[in-house]
Structures are given as structure tokens and as C-alpha cells.
Structure 1
């Protein structure tokens, strides 16, 4: 699911300081090379998603007919209903809605919006904008009653009537009427099977009202009372996805900004919808839109002039409007014939921006635009090294968690870095116990990973794109790259959670780390190789199951989904990011069920995934298994909803190693309840058969601090070892690739006396 802010999403959720993307609802999933992940909580201003992505180097640079997948999309962070309720409306002597004008509280009940004709219009006018805002989240069962095509036509006619009579404020409740139409498109998009398709009559009916508003002499009043209606009218000009039709209105908005009278009362955000229209026209690759720009290329100059005038807002409340102007100016270079005109304008602007200071956001926006559309000439903009400059400036907190994990953060305290390392290091053993792998898949060289942590969602949305080229309409991404390529750098980008419960945490940290482990040990080749096969049910479901189980978190949303019995198991095998609920909640349910009830089938499936036999995996799922488990899965859902899924899944743990010598380790077994006093050792030896590709020894649990050492030549000591894992507690992991045959040696050194520790060995 893509939650669009400003176009479809409830504007009442927007926040002026957050970079909220306005995205085109996709036909299915994200751009090629991207995997989406969960949003169990709602970080302001909207739903966040997590993505596993392919090689960021694949982002196009400056090729005609190729829009960059990491293209920045316009922000529309203005919440007009807040203005509608402002003191300015009170000063006008007219309330924002009938109920408010009379001082009466008007009840807001979504079921009431099934009314028709004049009754529906009276209802919409009587409620406040917050009530209309709530309709964006209307339950699907009420969606058809509230937003049938006949109702949209009725309200569109009422908008036209109100626009003709518009007096420069919301006394006629035109905002509520326009916002209702916006909500209708959003709800219909998410519930097409329920609401039905809208015919061409709906956009035809909306057009006269929008035109009538902008033909009104009060349309561009620079007053607080006009800010909200103007913003809603501008967004409505984009909601029907007809950029050619509404291009004249976009031009009017751009030309209106000629004085400082606009620099107040959220009026700048009311001009911002112009960039939505421009974005839609170029992003849709509409040849008619291209022809219109060719006829009147002075529009490019208008955008550049707007950005130059808006420079005074860099780093301020209207910073996002300025960034949108820079972004859309660069996007014109998608068409080669416009590059000569755009280039000097964007170069002049970019020269005024810097990597630090108030113009940081615009520098990042310009650098991304150059990368996508004119990278061959990046030297003329001075942006060729901006990715490295931004990384060096902002990722200044570095922690080497283990030989394989490094954290690069904007700002994390030492105890936060240590705690994050502990959590990641301890997850390895849990993951391997779940998937029962035999080491990395063939040709996977991603033996190390960088964990990049931004300070907030807003920082992530801005900085990750310029640094790494990924899209940021999500809650983080795993950037796998090309795992068989020497020198490839695997990383995942995430951000600190700044909402909800107190305390420090990183959003989707363990989910994303599972993607790294799964890609390295279960999925052969690159993301692009696997993505054409519907593997999202496994990759996203496993990431949910492992992260939640490792953290001992109850997936309440999955339990709620189980009670609804929405999908059959055989249907879930075809999942490919259709929507958030199916991908994550039902992915969790499908993977957990298969692991608990049909482990041999999971082992067979992973054997195929690990070879990259995607056709074989489809045959196993759709033919060999087919619908055989559907009835049992449906029954299991009842048990899950009744409480079974509130327990941590009963994944098999490694059994105790055989033999009386507690120093002896073996294949896939554990030694438990180990202890040593400070400065002493618990020693181990292990016989490695010839041809073994990998040995992994892990310590966990207990109290104190034990550090793990490895020596292939004799007993391992702090002054006699080849490699070690020395974290702040007992969560240590050592992975030895292509070990020599024969006896090898490990030890757990008591940096601080430990007890109750387990050591596992797997190969």
C-alpha cells in the first residue's frame, strides 16, 4: 500500500516538517528491485513501509525515457482544515462550517454519508474538516454507501455552485465539499471491488468546479481565510490525474507568487499543488503533456523563478515548497530537448545550496535530480561527489558490532550503539535455527553489512536518497546490491523511531536484518533474480516471524487478520506486494503455519530457493502442495485468533552435543549452562570434515560477559587466536568460511565472570 499525503491521504495527518511523499498508486508493489515491509505503527505523518531493494547503482542517470526509481516526489504538508479552524476564520465573522458558525457540535458518523442529493450536501457542509478527514479511513463495508459515483457527481455539482459564489473564505463550506471528493478518490482506489470503478463522468463533473474556483476573483486572495480553500482546490486539480487539463491552473499558481504577501498564513503551501500537476504530467510520460511544454517552455522559467524567490524559506516552514520547486525543475530534464534550458537554471540554483546549513534539503534534492537526469554533466553542478559528502557529514557515529556488522549513524549514544549491536549479533543464531541453512548460498559475497541509522523518518526521506539512491516512501530498505560482485556493499537503511512509546528503538531494525540474512543464506542471486517469482509471502513473512519471535513481540495485527479468514494459503503463495495487510500480516501467518505444521515442505522449498530454482519452487508450491493445506490452514487460523499465535513459535532448538567431554562440539548441537570466573576460559574443540564450507559457533544467554575466540592451530587464548567476537555481553558469533579439515579450537573468555551460557556449533 502507498499512502499518499496531499493527493489522496487525509491532509489532517500531515506535518509541515515531515517529508511526506505524494506517490502514484502503483499497479502492484514498488518500482522494480524493491520489496516492501510492515507498518505496524503509524509514524507521523502517515504509514511507513520497509523495502528490500536491489542494486542502488541501477538507478538511471540521464537517459531519455527512463525516470529514476529514486525520484523525489512532491511534498504537500499543508493541513488546510487547521487553517479552516483558525482564529482568522473567526475574525471573518463566518464559521468554517454551519455547525461551527452556530456554535453547535455536529456529530460525525461515517454511516451518515450514505445520504443522497440535497441531504448529502447539507450533511457535508454541516460537519467540520476533521470529520471529512475521517472518511479517508472509512471501513470498507461503508465505502460504497459513502462514495458511490452518483454521490460524487452530486458533490461535484455542489462544488461548482459554491465556487461560483466563493467570497474568499470557507463560509460556503467549499473546503468540506472539495475534500469529500478527494476522500472519494482515495477510498475508491483502496476499495475498488466494493465501491466500483468511476466512469469518465466523475472527472468531467469535477473540472467545472475547479475552473470556477480559479476564475473567481477571490481565488488568489493573499489572506488566511483563503489559504485552506485554495489549497484544497489546487489538490483537487490533481486528484483526477489529468495534468494536461489542469496545467493552466498550475501556471496560475506559479505566477501568483510575486510578493511577500504569500509568505504567511500557510499560503505558500496553498501554491504547492502546482508541483503535483507538473509531477503527474512528466511522471506519467503523457505525450500530450510533453507537447504542451514544447509549445510553452517558458513554464520551466516560471518554476526556476519560483524557486529563486522562495530561497528565503530555506530551512523554514515552507522549506518543502522550495524543495518541490527544485525537484520539479530538475524533472523537466527527463525530456532531452529541455535539458539545455533547464541546465543553467538548475546550475545557478545549486550554486546557492550547500551540504550543511539551511539549504541542505535543496542541495540533496538538486543532487538527486542531477543523478537521475543529467549525471554525465554532474561536474557542472558540483554534485558528482555529493553522495560521499553527505555520508561524511552526517553518518559520523560508527560502531563495529562484529566482523560482519557495522553501524553508521547520524547520532547514537554509546549505550544505544552497544544495545543495537547486542540485538543484531544475537539474532544470527536464532535465524539459523529457524531456517536450518548450510551456510551462504553459492556466489554470495555479502559477508559484511552496513547498518545505516538516520535520526528520524524525515531525515531518512531526505538523506538516504542522496546518499544511496533508494526510494524513501517506506520505513527502511535493505539494499542488497549484486551479491556475486566483488567489492559489493550490502547495507540496510533505517531510522530511529521518534513516536509512540518512550525509549530508544530503530524502526524495523530486526525485520531488515532478517532480509540480509535471508538473502545471504536462503535466496540465490540478486533480488532482481527472485522478484519475478512471487516470493514476497516468504521473504516478508519470514522477516516478520523471525523479528517478532526473536524479540518476543506478539503480532496483534496478524492475529486480528487471522480472525477474518481473508485468504487461502494457496492464494498467499502468489503474494507480490498487493497490499500491506496481505504482504505482512498474512505473510506472517503463512510462514508461521508452514514452519509449525509442514516443516519438511519448508526445507524442500528452501533447498530450491538456495539454488535459484525459481520454476521448481513454483511447482512445489502451486502443484505439489497446491490447495492441499487450505482447509487445515483455515482451521489453524481459528486457533491462531483464539490465542495460539500469542505464544512465541515453537521453533526447534539445537540439541545438546553428545559425549561426556563438555569441551567437544559437533555438527548442529549445543553445550549449555557453561560458566567461568573472570580471566578464565571455557575451551572447546571441533572436528571439521574435509569439504566443510562453513562453521558457525555462537554463544548466548546467561550472565556476565564472555568473549568468543577461534584458533585453527591449538587451544584459543586472548594471545593466541585468529579471530574473535568481543561484544558487551554473551551474544557472540564467529563464522569461519572454508575452515581447514581436522580439529579446530574455540574458547569463551570470561572478560567478566559468566554463568548459564550456551554455546552452539553449526556446519
Structure 2
């Protein structure tokens, strides 16, 4: 359930690790990055249209933190996908800090300046203000997105914005292709001004055409720079943010050709730079959000070349699909198709949609393109749904992406993409065992009467990429986040809360399901502690509890140390009395999550009576009364909290770690690739691995390859030991069989227990194979291994296997090690392919039955 909103620091918009949707019928405006209250979230005048979308907040990008969302999104509101790292929790490259620019004669110290208050900006004007902004940190400017009242007027009134726009124009005239002069900070400040003025126009005052003209002049100068398309991290930082500013200033129509220029300039040399990839992806933000702007729609209608550029990009860069930058291609298709909403463009866009769907598929590497385009067709051209084959698209997607259905018990069910029987059992156990843990913590008397939240369906996609691909089309959610929980309408008897999650490899959660226990805590908290819908629940400042208890339970239930919270404790950044005022508006990621954890842990350990008094009010829907319980404490606990923080930082909050051994095995003939899947709970990490392969051989490598000399079944054991000296072991049986070289003259022919070596293909091409399975063959195993590059393994029982036509596949990016096992029922030919996601060579493909 819950409205988890981890607010951005410098690079999070529409971003989250988990989000809550409180109603399925509402169609709110596209949320700004720092979450707004329920009232602010409902600006859209009509479902299916963007309405008055707020200017983009801190920066456009994927985050694994959480965000609020108050209703199912219509197709127009589903945003482009954001850049993601291989591991969602991995940080992006650090933004380069600008040295001071002595434009005003003041040597701003940049990182050395510790002061960052609204008065530091409102107290300066003209060149002095510009110089101060250039020397400020990005985090400092991020904090300005939340100011209100007189501070907002002092910092962002039009005269201040005009001075900064002129400063940006002058800086752009000598732009060096990086952030060495602090130009990024000027762009970012202007973006902050538009954002704050949108939400607080009475505080800031009006902005007129003179500001628009000044910002346009500055951006024109920047775009005209000979360094506009330089390929380096610094330029990517600056220009990516400049593209967002074109949207903030509502100048999308003016920069249509610029967006095309960026897309046409993109090539593989950009791929090694996160910020250059983000620069290319940033143009999709104004292209998407421009649909709310009549001038933009009129400009595209008069000259639809932007649509053709998007379509060409999607067609020409399909080799990216399935890889880390898949979103660049799928977003181009998504934005091509979005123009179908405008009647004057239907005849232009309809055949383009059909063409994109014809070269992609509902499953496999090209699914991100197909699903996004199909969603727009279904949403805006439903009368012609049969033309596209999307008349029941959500059910089509659910059947394709979520074939695994499992009931744990009457209150826990699972719908999944690829969980094994062992995974399903483990997830059921994790959720079921969390129930008594949570009951003991909150001391409830059972579910809140009159609410229909007594069961939860846990939806688990196989990867972050699959979540981004399918969740929006099936459930109408933004997927630029790390998961979402939909609680529906708790007062409706047919209500079924649903958590949308995804697997993220060996991330420490059960079955690798990112945020599994945090999400389930939100569901339990809503069921047992907090009456009503999301708008009711956040009607008072109680985010310290909502997010803090979810963090606290997730870590403490799993017996894991919250190292992020412990790292924050000695800083004493926030008084407890300040944390009690946390809202989704005034709190960034750090204040919301690690500090929420610290506040809840302190209150549970030191003042459980206050927690119980508060929850007693929340359970009846008396949020004002619950807020009064802790607000009336004032600063009385602040000194005690500070002392407790020191003890926490000194080790009192650490949990002793313990390892759990696990591994996977992929045989290829007599060779087996073993991969360590072990996890560590609590503090510490796994320090050593000891393998026994069951044939007398051993290894201390983490993920070894072992070659057996004789076919047969072997019991393989792995013992892991952590830095605390604790050990754990696991064993499983591994079967290998002798494999010989395939002997048929036709190099496409595979056979029983044979392999072909040194296979290769260039990116976007396929190596085709086929095999005859005799009557009585029940199982076929296919493996690929060795060599370099990324090769996807595809299978089709009826015809040549291609990215658009296959029934089973193994598509792990960045490797040639793929494996699949298919069930066979009849004799006949079967078809297998190696698809070159990137160039690959030296690969061995093996078939066994």
C-alpha cells in the first residue's frame, strides 16, 4: 500500500522505490518530483489529458525510492522511461562541482561554502546573485525546490529570475562544453523557480512574457554553441538539464528542431557516458509534456517531422532493446505513438504504430517497444483496436508477462513472471512470518473494521526492465520507480490491494524481490494501523511513521543492519521534533528514509506508549488527534534523541550478520558454470567460498567453472563464511552428460548431446539452428557459453526463432551464458537461434535430451 515517496536529491523525478495508488478511478496530473498533497495531485481537468502539469522538479531520472500516485494513469500520463543502472541501488556518476566564477568580483568558494539558506539568494541581486548560484552546490539548489512564502518571493520573484536568465545567456556565449563555469547551476536554478512559482504563485508572484523571452534567449545561445553536442560527461550534465528547462519554460514548440537535432546526433559513442545517454533521453520529457501546450501541438501538426524523427530513431536503434539503454529506443516508439491522441495527426501516426508493432513483439528483447506503442494505440484508437490487435491489451500483457499464479493462503497470493516453486515457497514464508513480527511491534487488535484490505496480491516481475515494460500497460502506473502498491478503495467490498515488485538479482531480499518486506509493511500498516485512503492518511505530518516504520520493519525483520541510517546518526542533522513534521513536500530522500528509520526506532525503543497512543487515534481515522500526541511533545525528547543517536552510531544499532549459502549451476556437457547466490543478513559480508564438486575436486573461487571427466549426477556443496566467522552450507545435485561435436554437414543442425563451437554474429543478426526430437523426448536443454559479447538464446517449436517469434528464451544482458529447458510433447523439428544483442564471437551452443 503505501505512498512511499523517496524524494529526490539531485536526480530524481517521478522516482521511487515504491509508490502507492489510493484509487483506481482518479486520473491525476502527472506528479511533480517532490510529492504534492492529494489536493495538488489532482490538477488534470479530464482523464486522458495531461492538464496543468507542473514544471519538472529536481532532475529527470530513474530512482529506486518511492513516490506518491493517487490514481490509475491514463495513457497520456504514462511518462517516458528513465535511465537505469545495472543495479537499481547503484549511484549515478557524481555531478562535477563548479569552481567559483568571479563575475561579480566575489570568489565564491563552491563546495567550501557551508551556508545555503534562502536569504543567501534573496539577499543578492544581479551579477552577485549569478555568481553565488554558480558557486553553489547542486544539493543546495535542490533544497530551493521546497521553499514557500516570503522566501519563495525573495529567491524566485521575476526580477531575480530575469537576472539569472541573463547570466545564463552570457555564460552560454562562452560555453566550454562542461560545467567548469557553473552553468549547470544556473539552468537548475531557473528550473527551480518555475517549479516553485507553479505551486505557489501567490508567494512568488507572476511571470510574464519578458521572462519567457529571456530564458529562450539564453537557451538559444546554449543550443547554438559549437560545444552543444560534445560527447563528454560534463556536456551531458549541462545539456540534459537544459532540455528539461525548455519544458519548464513551456518552450517545447520553439525547440522542436533541437529535439530532432539531439536524436539525430545520438550514436554509440554516447553509450559510455551516463550523462550523455541521459541527455538524449531528456528530450523525451518536453516531447511528452508538450502535449499539454496548444502551441506545441499546433507546431507538430503543421510540421510533423518530429514524429518521423522519433519513428526513425525507434526503427534504427532496435539493437538497443533488451540492453541497458533499451529505454532510449522504446521511448522513441512511445512518443511516436502518443501523437495518435490528436485527431489531425491520426492518419500520420496510425501506420507508424502498426509498423513499429510489426517489427517488435509482446515478449522478448523487443517487448519494451511493442508494449509502449500498443498501449497508446489501445488508449487513443480503441475503435480500431482490431487493426493493431490490442482490443484486450491489459489481459494480453498479463497473460504474456505474469503466467505464474500461486496461493499461499487466504490472505497472501502471488502473481509472477518467473518465480520457481522454491521461490514461491520462500516468498510465502517471508510474508507469512512477517505478520506476527508486525503484530508484536504495533500491538494491534486485528484489521481495522470496515476496511477491505485483508488480503494482498504480490505481483513480481522478473527484472526492473520487465517491470518498466509491462506494469504501466497492465496496471496504469508510472514505472520510473522501484515498485508500487495499489490499495484501491479500502471501503469497497471487492477491493484487492496489489503490490507491484520486481526481482533484482542477488539483492538480499527473499527470491531477490526488491523492497519485498518494505512494501508488505505498508500493506500491513494500512490494514492494521491507518484507517482510510491515502489522502486521509497524509492529512497531517506523519511521513516519519509511514516511511520510517516500513524501513524499520524491513531491516529488523530480516535481521539486517540499516547501514545508511547508522551513517546518518552521528551527523545529528535533524532534531526529533523536526522529523515529527515530515511530509512528502518538505522531506528529501535522506530525511524521509534513514532519518524516518531512526525516528521510528527511537520511539519504539524508548517511548512505545506514545506510539501506541498515536496509533490508537490513527486506527479510528482521527489523524488530527494522532498528530497531537507527538506534536505536543515539542522539543522535550530532542536531547534524549541526540544521546541515542550517538549510541546508535557507536554500534548499538548494528545487527550481527549471518550468511546464507546458495548457488545456481548451468551444465554444458561435462562443464558446469557455478554461480554464487549467497546472501548476508545483518552487518558484515561474505569473505570466503569453499566448493566441493562431488568428484573429489574443490575450489575457493566465488563462481567457478568445473569440468567433470565422467557423465553422471554429483552432489555439489558450497560453504560460505562471513567476516564475523559465521558459516553456512548448502548442497544440490548436478547432472552432466557427455557432449560431442555436432557432426552434420549443415552447420545449422543440432543433435542429441552435441555442441557447435566458435559461433559468431554481428549486432542485430541471428545464427539459426534446428534440431529433430524423436518420439518420447520429453525435455530439451539448450545452453550457450564462452566467447565475448551478448548473445540471446531463443526457441520456437514451430518456425525459425527470431526476436519477434519465439516461445521461450534466455536473455540475460552482458553475457553469452544463456540456458533454457523446454518441455516437449511430440516428435518433430524444433528451432533455436542465437540473437546478437551485441557483436558476439567464440560462443558454444549445446543441446541435450
Deviation of 1:493 after TM superposition, in Å, equals 1.6
Unaligned runs of 5+ in 2: 1-6, 16-29, 43-59, 87-94, 112-133, 146-155, 197-202, 656-849
CA deviation vs aligned residue, 1:148-200 (integer Å, no higher than 9, x gap): 988886564243134xxxxxxxxxx323358x43355447878999xx99999
CA contact (8 A) 1:250 1:275 kept: no
Matching residue of 2:183 = 181
Matching residue of 1:492 = 499
Deviation of 1:353 after TM superposition, in Å, equals 2.9
CA deviation vs aligned residue, 1:405-436 (integer Å, no higher than 9, x gap): 23333334554444333322211101111222
Aligned match for 1:444, one of 448, 451, 474: 451
**Cα distance in 1 between the residues matched to 2:597 and 2:361:** 44
Matching residue of 1:328 = 335
Aligned match for 2:634, one of 603, 621, 630: 630
Deviation of 1:508 after TM superposition, in Å, equals 1.6
Aligned match for 1:157, one of 170, 176, 188: 170
TM-score, length-normalised on structure 2?
Answer: 0.55
CA contact (8 A) 1:210 1:233 kept: no
Matching residue of 2:390 = 383
Q: 1:353 to 1:427 in 2, by over 3 A?
A: same
5 Å-filtered alignment, 1:208-219, equals 208=217, 210-212=219-221, 214-215=223-224
The SS at the match of 1:451 is strand
Matching residue of 1:576 = 584
Aligned match for 2:242, one of 236, 242, 245: 236
Residue 60 (structure 1) aligned with residue 66 (structure 2): no
Matching residue of 2:627 = 621
Matching residue of 1:49 = 65
5 Å-filtered alignment, 1:249-328, equals 249-254=255-260, 263-266=267-270, 272-282=281-291, 285-293=292-300, 295-296=302-303, 299-311=306-318, 314-315=321-322, 319-328=326-335
Deviation of 1:4 after TM superposition, in Å, equals 7.1
**Cα distance in 2 between the residues matched to 1:262 and 1:59:** 31
5 Å-filtered alignment, 1:354-365, equals 354-365=361-372
Deviation of 1:512 after TM superposition, in Å, equals 0.7
Residue 564 (structure 1) aligned with residue 562 (structure 2): no
**Cα distance in 1 between the residues matched to 2:14 and 2:524:** 36
The SS at the match of 1:441 is coil
CA contact (8 A) 1:238 1:246 kept: no
**Cα distance in 2 between the residues matched to 1:229 and 1:53:** 33
**Cα distance in 1 between the residues matched to 2:223 and 2:236:** 9
**Cα distance in 1 between the residues matched to 2:554 and 2:509:** 20
Residue 113 (structure 1) aligned with residue 129 (structure 2): no
Deviation of 1:384 after TM superposition, in Å, equals 3.5
Unaligned runs of 5+ in 1: 10-21, 34-43, 62-66, 80-107, 125-131, 163-172, 651-763
The SS at the match of 2:637 is helix
Which stretch of structure 1 is more off in the superposition, 490-499 or 334-343? Answer: 334-343
5 Å-filtered alignment, 1:397-476, equals 397-476=404-483
CA deviation vs aligned residue, 1:70-103 (integer Å, no higher than 9, x gap): x122546799xxxxxxxxxxxxxxxxxxxxxxxx
**Cα distance in 2 between the residues matched to 1:496 and 1:139:** 34
**Cα distance in 2 between the residues matched to 1:488 and 1:136:** 43
**Cα distance in 2 between the residues matched to 1:449 and 1:184:** 47
CA contact (8 A) 2:99 2:180 kept: no
CA contact (8 A) 2:416 2:459 kept: yes
Q: 1:586 to 1:356 in 2, by over 3 A?
A: same
Deviation of 1:335 after TM superposition, in Å, equals 5.2
**Cα distance in 1 between the residues matched to 2:135 and 2:322:** 29
**Cα distance in 2 between the residues matched to 1:435 and 1:227:** 48
The SS at the match of 1:176 is coil
TM-score, length-normalised on structure 1?
Answer: 0.60
Q: 1:425 to 1:225 in 2, by over 3 A?
A: closer
Matching residue of 2:486 = 479
CA contact (8 A) 2:37 2:585 kept: yes
Deviation of 1:511 after TM superposition, in Å, equals 1.0
CA deviation vs aligned residue, 1:264-306 (integer Å, no higher than 9, x gap): 4239956554423312323xx3344344445545644554455
Specify which structure has the higher proportion of helix. 1
Deviation of 1:251 after TM superposition, in Å, equals 2.3
Q: CA RMSD in A?
A: 5.1
CA deviation vs aligned residue, 1:689-739 (integer Å, no higher than 9, x gap): xxxxxxxxxxxxxxxxxxxxxxxxxxxxxxxxxxxxxxxxxxxxxxxxxxx
The SS at the match of 2:251 is helix
**Cα distance in 2 between the residues matched to 1:507 and 1:78:** 15
**Cα distance in 2 between the residues matched to 1:120 and 1:444:** 60
Aligned match for 1:587, one of 596, 601, 617: 596
**Cα distance in 2 between the residues matched to 1:252 and 1:420:** 49
CA contact (8 A) 1:570 1:630 kept: no
**Cα distance in 2 between the residues matched to 1:281 and 1:551:** 45
Q: 1:291 to 1:647 in 2, by over 3 A?
A: same
Higher relative contact order structure (alpha carbons within 8 Å, sequence separation ≥ 6): 1
The SS at the match of 1:323 is helix
CA contact (8 A) 1:244 1:292 kept: no
Deviation of 1:345 after TM superposition, in Å, equals 3.6
**Cα distance in 2 between the residues matched to 1:6 and 1:586:** 19
Residue 522 (structure 1) aligned with residue 529 (structure 2): yes
Matching residue of 1:639 = 643
Deviation of 1:565 after TM superposition, in Å, equals 4.9
Deviation of 1:463 after TM superposition, in Å, equals 2.5
Specify which structure has the higher proportion of strand. 2
Work out the number of aligned pairs and report it: 557
**Cα distance in 1 between the residues matched to 2:641 and 2:547:** 19
